Amino acid sequence: MKRAYEYNHELISNAVPVVLKEEEQTWEQAFDVDAGNWQGIKLLWGSHVPGSYAPEIVLLSGIQSMYNMGYDVTEAEKLIPQALEAKEKEDKATLYRLTSRVFRLLNEAKPISGHPFWKYRIYDNFDQYASAVNFYYYQPCDVKSDKFDQSIYAGWIAQIVGAAVGTAIEGYDSEHIQKAFGEIHDYVRKPSTYNDDITYEVAFLDAFSKKGYQVSSADIAEEWAALIPSGWSAEDIALKNIMLGVYPPESGYRSNPFREWIGAQMRGAICGMCAPADPYRAAELAFRDGVVSHHNNGVLGEIFNAVMCSMAFCETSMKEIVRKAIDMIPRDSEYYAVVHSAWVLCEQSKDYMSAWKVCEEKYAEYNWVHAYPNAAAEVIALYFCNDDFDTCLNMISMMGQDVDCNAAQILTLFGISRGLDCIDKKWLDPIQDDLYSYIRGYEKTKITTIARQTADSVRKARGIEI
Q: Do 73 and 136 fall within a single domain?
A: no
Contacts of 451 (CB under 8 A, 6+ apart): 149, 152, 153, 155, 156, 157
Q: Do 238 and 329 fall within a single domain?
A: yes
Q: Do 114 and 262 fall within a single domain?
A: no
Instruction: With respect to residue 24, please indicate whether it lies within any of the assigned structural domains.
Output: no
pLDDT of residue 58: 95
Instruction: With respect to residue 29, please indicate whether it lies within any of the assigned structural domains.
Output: no
Instruction: With respect to residue 70, please indicate whether it lies within any of the assigned structural domains.
Output: yes
Q: Which helix (H) or strand (E) holds 55?
A: strand 55-56
pLDDT of residue 15: 87
Q: If you ran DSSP here, which 8-state letter would residue 401 be given?
A: B
Q: Do 80 and 157 fall within a single domain?
A: no
How many Cβ atoms from other residues are within 10 Å of residue 78's Cβ? 11
pLDDT < 70: residue spans in the chain: 23-33
**How many Cα atoms sit within 13 Å of 159 on the Cβ side?**
33
* CATH code of 392's domain: 1.10.4080.10
Looking at 104, 119, 134, which one is the last position of a domain? 119
Q: Do 304 and 328 fall within a single domain?
A: yes
Q: Do 356 and 402 fall within a single domain?
A: yes
**Domains in the chain, number:** 2
How many Cβ atoms from other residues are within 10 Å of residue 342's Cβ? 25
Q: Do 48 and 174 fall within a single domain?
A: no
**Global pTM value:** 0.96
pLDDT digits (tens, 9 = 90+) for 111-138: 999 999 999 999 999 999 999 999 999 9
Q: Do 189 and 101 fall within a single domain?
A: no
Q: What is the C-alpha to C-alpha distance for residues 363 and 334, in angstroms, rounded to an integer?
A: 13
Percentages of the chain per state (helix, strand, coil), in multiples of 5:
60, 5, 35
- For 22-59, give one letter per residue: b (16+ CB within 10 A) or e: eeeeeeeeeeeeeeeeeeebbbbbbbebebbebebbbb
pLDDT digits (tens, 9 = 90+) for 380-414: 999 999 999 999 999 999 999 999 999 999 999 99
Residue 55's identity, in one-letter code, is: P
Range of the domain at 218: 126-461
Length reported for the chain: 466
Q: Do 83 and 179 fall within a single domain?
A: no
Instruction: With respect to residue 386, please indicate whether it lies within any of the assigned structural domains.
Output: yes
Q: Do 115 and 130 fall within a single domain?
A: no
CA-wise closest residue to 253 among 124, 372, 73, 67: 124
Q: What is the C-alpha to C-alpha distance for residues 366 and 359, in angstroms, rounded to an integer?
A: 11
pLDDT of residue 28: 55
Instruction: With respect to residue 23, please indicate whether it lies within any of the assigned structural domains.
Output: no
* Contact assessment for residue 260 and residue 233, using Cβ atoms and an 8 Å cutoff: no
pLDDT of residue 20: 77
* Contact assessment for residue 422 and residue 414, using Cβ atoms and an 8 Å cutoff: yes
Looking at 70, 103, 119, which one is the last position of a domain? 119
Instruction: With respect to residue 306, please indicate whether it lies within any of the assigned structural domains.
Output: yes
Q: Do 100 and 158 fall within a single domain?
A: no
Q: What is the C-alpha to C-alpha distance for residues 138 and 118, in angstroms, rounded to an integer?
A: 35
pLDDT of residue 21: 80
pLDDT of residue 36: 73
Instruction: With respect to residue 445, please indicate whether it lies within any of the assigned structural domains.
Output: yes
Instruction: With respect to residue 158, please indicate whether it lies within any of the assigned structural domains.
Output: yes
Q: Do 332 and 387 fall within a single domain?
A: yes
Looking at 70, 87, 119, which one is the last position of a domain? 119
